[in-house]
Amino acid sequence: MTNANISVEMAPSEAESIFQDVAFTKALRTQMLKFAKLQVRDSQLAEDAVQEAMLSAYQHIDRFARQAAFKTWVFSILKNKLIDLLRKEKRHTAASQLEEGPNLSGDALIEHLFEENGHWQQDERPKKWDQPDHDVENDDFWRIFDACLEALPAKYGRLFMMREFLEMDTPEICHNEEVSVSSLNVTLYRARLRLRECLEDHWFQKETS
């Protein structure tokens, strides 16, 4: 049948209107690109992944009449594309070869946070975070969150994002990145320590400090 491919044109108009909403599409694209670039540190590859994800989404647009559902779905396509990219990229830059970053290959951060006896340094004790769920709606919060992610050493950021953003499991990350389970666990621990510290310093305790 020659018209097998025209189902897109016959999609319900309310679904098509998702793509016709220029402001929505543009903002979504920007957000996807930012997300992709954080993980695949190559602008062209990131652009391609976003483009492909948008195209796949467009081809099945008739299933999505609501912008919110559409957005969740297009991001799940993008995540799969990024996982594929990271798998292919393995031989070039497995995390095992990435820099740990200054002051971090050693235990400088741990030493900074904890006393020699293994207890928290007085000033570094975690404080209560007020209403983090409210911050999800706050653009300023996400700017800080991005800055904190970008400040992570490359290896930490990559493994953290594989685990938390792409929701890959431990065995798969270890296999892909050629790191041992214990090394992955330690790296994730340190990434979270740093991220926690950064968010607390720059967001959650900002008013009171």
Partner 1 sequence: MMKCKQATQMLSEKLDRPLSNKEKINLAMHTAICSPCRQFGRQMETLRELSKSYTKAKEPEEK
Cβ proximity to partner 1: between 6 and 186 the closer is 186
Could you tell me the smallest distance in angstroms from the CB atom of residue 34 to partner 1? 9
Closest distance between partner 1 and the C-beta of residue 75, in Å?
4
* CA distance linking residue 85 with residue 152, whole number of Å: 21
What is d(CA 79, CA 199) in angstroms, rounded to the nearest whole number?
Answer: 25
150 touching partner 1, by CB under 8 A: no
Taking the complex as a whole, how short is the minimal distance between the CB of residue 139 and partner 1, in angstroms? 5
Candidate residues 43, 108, 120, 206; the one interacting with partner 1 per rule CB under 8 A: 120
Note whether 189 binds partner 1 by CB under 8 A: yes
Position 188 contacts partner 1 (CB under 8 A): yes
Count of residues of this chain found to bind partner 1 when the rule CB under 8 A is applied: 46
Q: How far is CA 152 from CA 113, 118, 160, 164, 196, in A?
A: 17, 24, 9, 14, 11
Of 52, 75, 90, 172, the one binding partner 1 (CB under 8 A) is 75
Site for partner 1 in 2-41 (CB under 8 A): 23, 26-28, 30-31, 35
- Using CB under 8 A as the binding rule, whether residue 164 contacts partner 1 is answered as yes
Contact 36, 50 (CB under 8 A): yes
**What is the distance between the alpha carbons of residues 94 and 61, in angstroms, rounded to a whole number?**
36
Smallest CA-to-CA distance from 80 within 39, 132, 136, 21 is with 39
